[in-house]
């Protein structure tokens, strides 16, 4: 009962004090708002980079060309052998008959058409293929080697060199962007904590009086922590609005893809709420701990 | 029965200044003691150690049975609840009314509103401020602000009231009024230790007087012994 009363008083006083110290509260809230906007932009960017790079990587396909004299039976058996390998996306192993391939090629170009249209199944130099996707692009080289060892597979191609290069570049991009987000969040935490510290410095007297009349340390810290929490929540409102409406507008404006069909934007749906939640959490946690640390300084003799 | 016992107490600040040397002092329950002495002789340091704003460097201090030197930082509030403290500069919350300032001391203890109200009104009455309960500190005179501070210090019924130059900012007439309030509180059984520079007051009240010089007690006058 007593604990609830103290808690109730703390919450009430925290709200009061946010308004009583309005200019300082406003400074803290603005600081939180501005830094969280920067964080929001960088999170949205990073997650999108992560998203479209992995989409592109997912698109990388290994093509296994089968020997020309292969029988239907062997083709089926081959399928089992392929999916028995590691690192294969089992639902994405697709057989393509050579005649189908010819048809596709002829549809694409007049030149191909004039050359290929009279080839029969037996004459055709084109080979049947299995198109294979891997689960981990970093191991694609080894998977290709494994495929090469299979008897009825003649040649294996996946854009060697190019793919490795791509993976490497994407890897760097992802790591750098994550590093930027993490350091931005740290800088934000520092900035917010510092602003709150300055705000609390001006209330040293209040803390001293609380101590003087016999408030326990936790009793002194709690209202300030609630206050930090409130500031954090208030400060994250605008960044969240910007994320929710801004990103949705951006997504709709670009029709879900940036410049080319390869750079797909993440669908706003759950994404914007996830980012909002992260922003709110940062605001709340940093607000609370910033206050906690600032007050703690005054509770030592 | 001694409510305060100081034995061989020494205080050296981090800066190297020693403010109190080998000090012994016992104060009985219900006593009224003035602590006087020239500026910088260690009066404030002495009483700060009583409510553990400062820790003694060596020696032993017992306040109401608590070994002050041994209280951990997180437990200081337990001592503070047994002691009321009043300063020269009142230390009131400027954004709170007289009533709120006094009630604050009970709120932090977690008392329900229904218990807080009568207690606050009672002490405001005792210090003669019942009709100014709703005023903010900047609408009160210095003497009135000090009354609020005294009310706050005694509202939870501490056994000891410590005052550091409570009349330092007040004119002689107002000072005497404050002294009347303190005497009334003392009569109700509260032990009072008061640091002051105002020897007129000291002479007039005829209480025990401890004279400090350079961190040592040089004279301990019994009631009525002190003369200018
Ligand atoms: N926090 C501190 N750190 C370092 N030295 C201090 C501190 N507080 C007081 N002192 C020193 O300790 C000595 C005693 O100071 P104290 O405040 O106890 O004197 P005082 O008798 O209360 O003086 P006054 O009558 O002017 O209030 C002084 O030399 C002072 O400079
Ligand atoms: Mg002093």
Residues facing residue A257 across a β-bridge: A264
Q: Write the DSSP assignment of chain A as a string of letters.
A: -HHHHHHHHHHHHHHHHHHHTHHHHHHHHHHHHHHHHHHHHHHHHHHHHHHHHHHHHHH--EEEEEPTT--HHHHHHHHHHHHTSTTEEEEEEEEE-HHHHHHHHHHH-HHHHHHHTT--TTT-----EEEEEES-GGGHHHHHHHHHTSTTEEEEES-TTHHHHHHHHHHHHHHHHHHHHHHHHHHHHHHHHHHHHHHHHTTHHHHHHHHHTT--HHHHHHHHHHHHHHHHHHHHHHHHHIIIIIHHHHHHHTTTBSSSTTSBPPPHHHHHHHHHHHHHHHHHHHHHHHHHHHHHGGG--
Cβ–Cβ pairs < 8 A, chains A and B: 56
Q: In chain A, what percentage of residues exceed pLDDT 70?
A: 99
Tokens representing residue A104 in the block: 């596709």
- Examine the domain organization and report whether A252 and A275 are in the same domain: yes
* pLDDT above 90: residue A159: no
Are residues A170 and A277 located together in one domain of the fold? yes
Provide the pLDDT confidence category of residue B29 given band limits of 50, 70 and 90.
very high
Among A141, A157, A173, which residue terminates a domain? A157
The listed range with the strongest mean pLDDT (A151-155, A215-219, B14-18) is: B14-18
pTM, entire model: 0.74
Ligand nearest to the CA of B46: 1
Residues A98-118: what's their mean pLDDT?
Answer: 82
B184 is a domain residue: no
Bridge partners, B217 (sequence order): B212
Residue B46 forms part of a structural domain: no
Least trusted range by pLDDT, from A140-149, A191-200, A265-274, B90-99: A191-200
State how far the Cα of A214 lies from the Cα of A222, in Å rounded to an integer.
Answer: 15
What pLDDT score does A21 carry?
Answer: 78
For chain B, the domain total comes to 1
Answer yes or no: do A292 and A219 share one domain: yes
Same domain, A223 and A294: yes
Backbone angles phi, psi at A220, to 5 degrees: -80, -40
Question: With an 8 Å Cβ cutoff, are A213 and B152 in contact?
Answer: yes
> Measured from the CA of B41, which atom of ligand 1 is nearest?
21
Ligand 1 is surrounded, with C-beta below 6 A, by B 13, 15, 17, 19, 37, 39-45
Q: How sure is the predictor about A1, in pLDDT bands with cuts at 50, 70 and 90?
A: low
Q: What is the pLDDT of residue B218?
A: 96
Q: Give the Cα separation of B88 and B82 in Å (integer).
A: 20
Whether residue A74 has pLDDT greater than 90 = no
Contact A214 B95 (CB under 8 A): no
A213 and A236 both lie in a single domain: yes
Are residues A210 and A197 part of one domain?
yes
- Flag if A211 and B80 touch (Cβ within 8 Å): yes
Full strand arrangement of the beta sheet holding A88-96: A88-96, A129-134, A62-66, A153-157
Per the structure, the complete domain to which residue B108 belongs is given by 92-157
* Gap between the Cα atoms of B22 and A271, Å rounded: 70
Quick one: average pLDDT of A174-180? 88
pLDDT at B127: 94
Contact B212, B46 (CB under 8 A): yes
> Cα angle at A130 between A128 and A133, to 5 degrees?
155
Main-chain phi, psi angles of B161, to 5 degrees:
-120, 125
Chain B interface, Cβ < 8 Å to A: 51-55, 73-74, 76-78, 80-81, 85, 91-93, 95, 104-105, 107-112, 152, 156
Q: B94-98, B110-114, B173-177: which has the highest mean pLDDT?
A: B173-177
**Residue in B with minimal Cα distance to A19:** B95
Q: Which residues of B touch A213 (CB under 8 A)?
A: 80, 104-105, 108, 152
Return the percentage of chain B with pLDDT > 70, whole number: 100
- Residue with the smallest CA separation from ligand 1 atom 18 is B42
Q: Are residues A170 and A288 in the same domain?
A: yes
Q: Which of chain B's residues have a Cβ under 8 Å away from the Cβ of A295?
A: none
Structure confidence at residue A148 as a pLDDT band (50, 70, 90):
confident
Mean pLDDT, residues A35-62: 87
Q: What is the pLDDT of residues A189-243, one digit of tens each?
A: 888 788 778 878 878 888 888 889 988 888 888 888 888 899 999 999 999 999 9
Tell me the two tokens of residue A14.
């925290």
Q: Are residues A176 and A204 in the same domain?
A: yes
Ligand nearest to the CA of residue B39, numbered in listed order: 1
**Which of A140, A157, A174 is the last residue in one of the domains?**
A157
Q: What is the pLDDT of chain B when averaged over all its residues?
A: 94
Check residue A301 and give its pLDDT.
57
pLDDT in tens, B59-82: 999 999 899 999 988 899 999 999
Q: Of A115, A133, A157, which one is at a domain's C-terminal end?
A: A157
Residue B212 bridge partners (DSSP): B217
> Given a cut of 90, is residue B92 above it in pLDDT?
yes
**Mean pLDDT score, A138-142:** 87
- pLDDT average, residue stretch A271-282: 94
Q: B8 — phi, psi (to 5°)?
A: 55, 40
Residue B105 covered by a domain: yes
A58 touching B (Cβ < 8 Å)? no
pLDDT at A116: 80
**Which tens digits make up the pLDDT trace of B188-219?**
999 999 999 999 999 999 999 999 999 999 99
For residue B31, CA distances in Å to A151, B193, B199 come to 106, 8, 18
In this structure, the answer to whether residues A51 and A65 fall within a common structural domain is no
Q: What are the pLDDT digits (tens) for A13-39?
A: 778 877 777 888 888 899 889 989 999
Q: What is the CATH number of the domain that holds A103?
A: 3.30.70.3040
Domain range spanning residue A193?
Answer: 2-56+165-299
A133, A139, A144, A148: CA torsion to nearest 10: -130
Do A121 and A198 fall into the same domain? no
In a domain, B222, yes or no: no
Contact B147, B176 (CB under 8 A): no
A189 and A243 fall within a common domain: yes
Q: In this complex, do B77 and A209 lie within 8 Å of one another by their Cβ atoms?
A: no
Q: Cα–Cα distance between B99 and B212 in angstroms, integer?
A: 37
Predicted pLDDT at A276:
95
Confidence at residue B35, expressed as pLDDT on a 0 to 100 scale: 97
State whether A219 and A260 are in the same domain: yes
Q: Is the dihedral of CA A70, A72, A73, A74 positive or negative?
A: positive
Total domain count for chain A? 2
- Decide: A85 and A146 in contact? Cβ < 8 Å: yes
User: Would you say A230 and A10 are in contact if contact means Cβ atoms under 8 Å apart?
Assistant: no
Residues A236-257: pLDDT tens digits? 999 999 999 999 999 999 888 8
* 8 Å CB contact between A188 and A285: no
């Amino acid at each position: 009962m007593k604990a609830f009363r103290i808690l109730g008083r703390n919450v009430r006083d925290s709200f009061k004090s946010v308004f009583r110290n309005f200019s300082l509260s406003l400074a803290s809230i603005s600081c939180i708002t501005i830094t969280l906007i920067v964080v929001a932009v960088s999170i949205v960017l990073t997650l999108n980079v992560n998203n479209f790079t992995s989409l592109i990587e997912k698109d990388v396909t290994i093509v296994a060309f089968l020997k020309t004299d292969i029988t239907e039976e062997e083709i089926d058996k081959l399928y089992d052998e392929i999916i028995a390998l590691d690192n294969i996306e089992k639902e994405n192993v697709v057989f393509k008959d050579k005649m189908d391939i010819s048809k596709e090629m002829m549809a694409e170009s007049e030149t191909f058409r004039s050359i290929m249209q009279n080839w029969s199944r037996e004459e055709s130099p084109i080979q049947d293929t299995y198109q294979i996707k891997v689960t981990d692009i970093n191991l694609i080289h080894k998977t290709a080697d494994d495929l090469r060892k299979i008897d009825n597979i003649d040649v294996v191609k996946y854009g060697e060199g190019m793919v490795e290069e791509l993976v490497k570049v994407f890897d760097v991009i992802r790591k750098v962007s994550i590093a930027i987000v993490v350091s931005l969040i740290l800088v934000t935490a520092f900035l917010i904590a510092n602003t709150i510290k300055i705000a609390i410095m001006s209330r040293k007297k209040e803390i001293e009086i609380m101590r003087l009349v016999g408030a326990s340390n936790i009793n002194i810290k709690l209202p300030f922590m609630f206050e930090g929490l409130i500031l954090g929540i208030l400060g994250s409102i605008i960044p969240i609005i910007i994320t929710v409406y801004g990103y949705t507008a951006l997504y709709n404006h670009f029709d879900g893809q940036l410049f080319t069909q390869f750079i797909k934007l993440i669908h706003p749906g759950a994404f914007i709420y996830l980012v909002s939640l992260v922003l709110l959490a940062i605001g709340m946690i940093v607000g609370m701990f910033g206050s906690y640390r600032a007050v703690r300084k005054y509770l030592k003799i | 029965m001694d409510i305060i016992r100081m034995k061989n107490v020494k205080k050296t600040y981090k800066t190297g200044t020693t403010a109190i040397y080998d000090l012994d002092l016992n104060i009985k329950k219900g006593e009224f003691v003035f602590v006087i002495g020239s500026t910088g002789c260690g009066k404030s340091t002495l009483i700060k150690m009583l409510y553990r704003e400062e820790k003694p460097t060596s020696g032993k201090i017992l306040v109401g049975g608590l070994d002050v030197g041994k209280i951990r930082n997180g437990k200081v509030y337990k001592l503070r609840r047994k002691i009321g403290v009043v300063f020269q500069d009142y230390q009131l919350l400027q954004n709170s009314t007289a009533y709120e300032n006094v009630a604050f001391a009970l709120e932090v203890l977690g008392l329900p509103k229904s218990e807080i109200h009568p207690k606050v009104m009672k002490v405001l009455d005792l210090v003669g401020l019942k009709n100014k309960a709703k005023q903010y500190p900047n609408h009160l005179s210095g003497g009135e602000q000090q009354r609020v501070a005294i009310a706050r210090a005694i509202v939870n019924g501490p056994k000891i009231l410590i005052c550091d130059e409570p009349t330092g900012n007040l004119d002689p007439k107002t000072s005497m009024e404050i002294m009347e309030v303190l005497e009334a509180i003392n009569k109700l059984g509260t032990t009072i230790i008061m640091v002051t520079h105002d020897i007129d007051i000291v002479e007039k009240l005829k209480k025990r007087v401890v004279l400090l010089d350079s961190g040592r007690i040089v004279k301990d006058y019994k009631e009525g012994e002190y003369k200018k």
